[in-house]
C-alpha cells in the first residue's frame, strides 16, 4: 500500500506538496564527469540510464538547457511501432519495441505503454504494393504485421470513411498489432528517476555554449553554469544537432524543420487504435483522457521556431475530417511544433563523430520517440565501449561518404 493515506495526500495538496520527496536530485555540476550527455530528452536520459545500469558507468551528467522532456520528447504524438522496411532499421526499432514492452516494470514507473495497434493506410495501388512489400519484409524479420483490406478495415474502425468517392480513397492498410502509444512525459521522468537512482546528475537550466579542447581532443564543455570537464561527450539534442556539431567542429547532413501537432477537446472513447496516412500527411489517435491527438507532415522550410505554419495544419485537419467525418465538429484545444532533425535517408546517425571524445546521436526526424529506449541502449554501449553496438553499426556518420544509405522514407511515418 502507498505510504500516503488519503488524509496525508489532502494535507500535501494544501501544503503545496512541500513534504513530497523529489523524484530526482537537483545537483550542482561537478568539475568533471566520465561522460557528459548534452540534452535531457528521452534519448539523453535513456542513454544515461543504460550507461549506469548496463555498463556500471555512473559518474555521468545529463545537461539540459531547459527542463527535461521539454523538447521533442514532450511535444510528440507518442506513436511507437517497429514496422520499418530495411533489416538494419527493423532490427533497431524492434529492439526498442521489445524494451518498451517491459519498460514500466524495468523503471518501476508507469510509462502507460498501450499496445493498441497502428494502421498505416494505403490510398493507391502503389501504396498497397509498398504495404505488401513492407509487411512481408517485417514478417521475415520476425516483426508482427498484417495487410488489411478496405472492407475489413471498415469493420474494425466503423467511423473510418472508406467511400470510393473521397479525394484519397482508402484501399487498405498495414497493421502492426504490437504497436501503440505511450505517455511521453512519463518516459522522460521514468528514465530520469532511474538514472538518478544510480547516481547520474541531471542538471537542468544548463545550456552548453561551447567545447573545451586540448590538442585535437574535446575534454569538456562550456555552459552557463561554468566549464565542466568530461572524458567523453555525447550530443543528443534532436533539432539542435547541427548547432552543437558546429560548436564541436564538424558538420552533419541534417536539416531542421518544424513538425506540428494538435489536441482536441476531450470526447468519449471512439477510436481505440492509431491511424496514420503518409499520403494525406495526417494521423490520429485518442488519448486516455479523450483528446484526439492529431499530427501533420513537416513544414518544408528550415527553422528553429517551435511553431510551424497554419496551412500545414489546415491541410492535415482537412484530411483527417475526410477520413473521419464524425470529427468534423470537434474543436481543437491546442497546437504546437517541435524541431525535427531530418537526414537524407530518413535514418538516424548514432556513433563516434570525427572529433575525438565526441559522440553523436541524432537524425531521428519525425520518428524518434518510438526509438527512445533502443536509442539509449545502443548509444550507451557505443559510449561505454568506444565502438558501436551491432544494432547501430550501420547508422554511422560515415555512411554519407561511403554511400551505404538505408532509405526509410516510406516507413518513416509522416512524410519527410
Size of the site for ligand FAD (CB under 6 A): 39
Smallest separation (angstroms) from ligand PYC to the CB of 120: 9
Percentage helix, strand, coil, to 5, in the chain? 35, 25, 40
Residues 6 or more apart whose Cβ sits within 8 Å of residue 190: 103, 104, 107, 109, 110, 111
- Give the x/- contact pattern for ligand FAD in 339-358, rule: CB under 6 A: -x------------------
8 A C-beta contact, residue 157 and residue 190: no
Report the distance separating Cα 82 and Cα 414, nearest Å. Answer: 15
Burial of 1 (0-12, 13-18, 19+ CB in 10 A): exposed
Closer residue to ligand FAD, CB minimum distance, 195 or 261? 261
Question: Count of alpha carbons within 13 Å of 131, Cβ hemisphere only?
Answer: 26
DSSP 8-state code for residue 157: S
Report the distance separating Cα 110 and Cα 150, nearest Å. Answer: 35
For residue 125, what are the CA distances in angstroms to 161, 163, 354?
18, 16, 44
Question: Of these partners, ligand PYC, ligand FAD, none, which one is at the site of residue 72 (CB under 5 to 8 Å by kind)?
Answer: ligand FAD
Closer residue to ligand PYC, CB minimum distance, 43 or 53? 43
Tell me: does residue 79 bind ligand PYC (CB under 6 A): yes
Tell me: does residue 84 bind ligand PYC (CB under 6 A): no
8 A C-beta contact, residue 97 and residue 237: no
Report the distance separating Cα 34 and Cα 56, nearest Å. Answer: 12
Which residue in the set 40, 122, 357, 413 belongs to the binding site for ligand PYC (CB under 6 A)?
A: 413
Smallest separation (angstroms) from ligand FAD to the CB of 70: 5
Among residues 225, 269, 233, the alpha carbon closest in space to that of 355 is found at 233
Closer residue to ligand PYC, CB minimum distance, 143 or 206? 143
Tell me: does residue 86 bind ligand PYC (CB under 6 A): no
- For the beta sheet containing 146-149, the strands, ordered from the edge strand earlier in sequence to the opposite edge, are 146-149, 172-176, 118-122, 274-277, 282-286, 292-298, 255-264, 332-342
Smallest separation (angstroms) from ligand PYC to the CB of 81: 6
Which residue in the set 72, 77, 342, 361 belongs to the binding site for ligand PYC (CB under 6 A)?
A: 77
Smallest separation (angstroms) from ligand PYC to the CB of 348: 12
Give residues 251-290 in contact with ligand PYC (rule: CB under 6 A): 276, 283
Burial of 221 (0-12, 13-18, 19+ CB in 10 A): buried
Which residue in the set 24, 29, 33, 40 belongs to the binding site for ligand FAD (CB under 6 A)?
A: 40
Question: Of these partners, ligand FAD, ligand PYC, none, which one is at the site of residue 262 (CB under 5 to 8 Å by kind)?
Answer: none
Closer residue to ligand FAD, CB minimum distance, 30 or 155? 30
Contact set with ligand FAD (CB under 6 A): 38-44, 63-66, 70-73, 75-79, 207-208, 236-238, 240, 244, 259-261, 295, 338, 340, 364, 366-370
Contact set with ligand PYC (CB under 6 A): 77, 79, 81, 276, 283, 295, 366-367, 413-414
Amino acid at each position: 500500500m502507498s505510504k500516503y493515506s488519503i488524509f496525508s495526500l489532502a494535507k500535501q495538496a494544501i501544503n503545496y506538496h512541500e513534504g513530497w520527496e523529489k523524484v530526482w536530485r537537483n545537483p550542482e555540476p561537478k568539475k568533471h564527469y566520465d561522460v557528459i550527455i548534452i540534452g535531457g530528452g528521452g534519448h539523453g536520459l535513456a542513454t544515461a540510464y543504460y550507461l549506469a545500469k548496463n555498463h556500471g558507468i555512473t559518474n555521468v551528467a545529463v545537461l539540459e538547457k531547459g527542463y527535461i522532456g521539454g523538447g521533442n520528447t514532450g511535444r510528440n504524438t507518442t506513436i511507437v511501432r517497429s514496422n520499418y522496411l530495411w533489416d538494419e532499421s527493423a532490427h533497431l526499432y524492434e529492439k526498442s519495441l521489445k524494451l518498451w514492452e517491459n519498460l514500466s516494470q524495468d523503471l518501476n514507473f508507469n510509462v502507460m505503454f498501450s499496445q493498441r495497434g497502428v494502421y498505416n493506410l494505403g490510398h493507391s495501388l502503389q501504396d498497397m504494393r509498398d504495404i505488401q512489400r513492407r509487411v512481408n519484409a517485417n514478417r521475415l524479420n520476425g516483426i508482427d504485421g498484417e495487410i488489411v483490406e478496405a472492407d475489413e478495415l471498415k469493420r474494425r474502425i466503423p467511423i473510418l470513411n472508406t467511400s470510393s468517392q473521397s479525394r484519397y480513397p482508402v484501399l487498405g492498410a498495414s497493421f502492426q498489432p504490437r504497436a501503440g502509444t505511450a505517455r511521453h512525459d512519463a518516459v522522460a521522468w521514468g528514465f530520469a528517476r532511474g538514472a538518478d537512482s544510480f547516481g547520474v546528475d541531471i542538471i537542468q537550466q544548463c545550456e552548453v555554449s561551447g567545447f573545451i579542447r586540448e590538442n585535437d581532443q574535446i575534454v569538456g564543455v562550456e555552459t552557463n553554469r561554468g566549464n565542466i570537464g568530461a572524458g567523453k561527450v555525447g550530443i543528443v539534442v534532436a533539432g539542435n544537432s547541427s548547432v552543437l556539431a558546429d560548436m564541436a567542429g564538424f558538420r552533419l547532413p541534417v536539416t531542421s524543420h518544424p513538425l506540428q501537432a494538435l489536441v482536441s477537446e476531450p470526447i468519449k472513447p471512439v477510436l481505440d487504435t492509431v491511424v496514420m496516412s503518409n499520403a494525406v500527411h495526417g494521423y490520429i489517435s485518442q488519448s486516455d483522457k479523450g483528446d484526439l491527438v492529431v499530427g501533420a507532415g513537416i513544414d518544408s522550410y528550415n527553422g528553429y521556431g517551435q511553431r510551424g505554419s497554419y496551412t500545414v495544419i489546415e491541410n492535415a485537419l482537412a484530411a483527417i475530417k475526410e477520413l473521419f467525418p464524425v470529427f468534423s465538429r470537434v474543436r481543437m484545444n491546442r497546437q504546437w511544433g517541435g524541431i525535427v532533425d531530418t537526414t537524407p535517408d530518413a535514418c538516424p546517425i548514432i556513433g563516434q563523430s570525427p572529433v575525438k571524445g565526441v559522440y553523436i546521436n541524432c537524425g531521428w526526424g519525425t520518428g524518434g520517440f518510438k526509438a527512445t529506449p533502443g536509442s539509449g541502449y545502443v548509444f550507451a554501449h557505443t559510449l561505454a565501449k568506444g565502438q558501436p553496438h551491432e544494432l547501430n553499426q550501420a547508422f554511422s556518420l560515415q555512411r554519407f561518404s561511403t554511400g551505404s544509405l538505408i532509405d526509410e522514407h516510406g516507413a518513416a511515418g509522416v512524410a519527410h
